[in-house]
Amino acid sequence: MGWERVMPFHGYDEDWKMYRRYANQGFNKKAAMKYHAGQTRDVHLFLQRLAANSENFVQEFNLLLGKIIMRITYGYVVTDANDPYVKSSDEAIESLGRVTMMGNYLVDSYPFLRHLPTWLPGMGFKTKAFEWSKLPLGMANIPFEWTKKQMAAGIAIPSFLSELLEQNVDGRRGEEIIKWTAASMYGGGAHTTVGILNNFILAMLLYPEVARKAREEIDKVVGTDRLPTVLDRPDLPYLECVILETLRWYPVTPLSIPRRVSQDDEYRGYRIPANSTVYNNVYAITRDESMFPDPEKFIPERFDERQKTCGPLSPRDIIFGIGRRVCPGQFIADTSIFLVMSGILATMDITKARDGNGDEIEPEILRGPALVCQLRPFKCSISPRSKNVTELINSAIMFDEQ
């Protein structure tokens, strides 16, 4: 399907070690700090759009994450939701979601079908597979070549890709691996982070007392004459609990990415043959009542260190992957999540939408089956909390541009 070159799906070999080295070089915790200013600016612009286009908050989340990831990775500035590079990447990721759902195609149950000719009835999956196999190539090649042209013209915005290409000492092989490492960033970070933010909106809608408590903390620490920044984060412990509970409540990758065992193994008396597919059952872990009592409820206080109501496991230890396969962009994603959540709580009211009779519309919680488990669209009302909010956001944007 063309995804074997993307880092999360690449086998463990010498090339994968280079993938990991490049990714760590560009996105480790210290390196990620240099992107904070750009992320903050993008979130302020997002809040401005959200105030005017709150009904399409999912679209605004998608645009925001596209802007952040494409600028950091390629130095490319996304201007609207119809950006061709973003749409190309989204199309590739959507095709991946279709093929990774077991049972979608008969060949999943009867592998011998892949050997039959395309012209036979029922072999349409082979044509689709051929077409979809081209999409990851476009996702990797198109923005990569754009950045190289910008570099050749001397007008490239500094980015993960431009910096690695300038430092590349591994020749053509290094360039190819750098290209696919960059492609992995959008593929692994955009839809998952959007899913987390959608879950946050739903949680604040269903648990208004949590939103109120988090806002009161922000107002006390930050005040109401500026927007929260990453420097405020250590002083916002309750908001940190809200973030952790959002990650746990409905994990966006409930089975994570399937892995293949490279050699025979044994775990607690259970034999695991080589080439077995194994899953990190994130959903089951986050529903373990010995660590998370009342797991279906949204209870940020379970992560309050002062109350000690939760076991030692942090959702971050499993949501972003495990071991060598942990998500290299986790620090970028974590900062984006904090800035968006704190910004929305500081500036917006989230309430239930109303129908034509003025009655509240209860949100219907439905999730689509896919590798990344997204909420189906639901109605809610997001509005500026006061008349001064628009002016506050505009002032923050003006300050960012100075």
CA distances from 322 to 96, 98, 187, 246, 250 (A): 21, 24, 18, 19, 18
* Residues that constitute the known binding site: 327
Task: Give the tens place of pLDDT for each residue, 268-314.
Answer: 999 999 988 888 899 999 999 988 999 999 999 999 876 555 556 88
Consecutive H or E run containing 245: helix 237-249
Q: Name, of 161-165, 184-188, 370-374, the range with top average pLDDT.
A: 161-165
Domain boundaries, the chain: 7-252+335-400
Q: Quick check: 351 pLDDT over 60? A: yes
Least confident of 210-214, 244-248, 354-358: 354-358
Provide the token pair at 40: 């903050």
CA distances from 17 to 12, 20, 275, 319 (A): 7, 5, 20, 22
Q: Quick check: 79 pLDDT over 90? A: no
Task: Give the tens place of pLDDT for each residue, 20-68.
Answer: 899 898 899 999 999 999 999 999 999 999 999 888 999 999 999 999 9
**Residue labelled with tokens 């043959």:** 273
**Stronger pLDDT, 127 or 280, i.e. the higher one:** 280
Give the confidence band of 395 by pLDDT, cuts at 50, 70, 90: very high
CATH architecture for the domain at 7-252+335-400 = Orthogonal Bundle (1.10)
The dihedral over CA atoms of 219, 221, 227, 232, expressed in degrees to the nearest 10, equals -150
DSSP 182-243: HHHHHHHHHHHHHHHHHHHHHHHHH-HHHHHHHHHHHHHHH-SSS---GGGGGG-HHHHHHH
* Residues that constitute the known binding site for heme: 327
> Is residue 326 classed as helix, strand or coil in its secondary structure?
coil
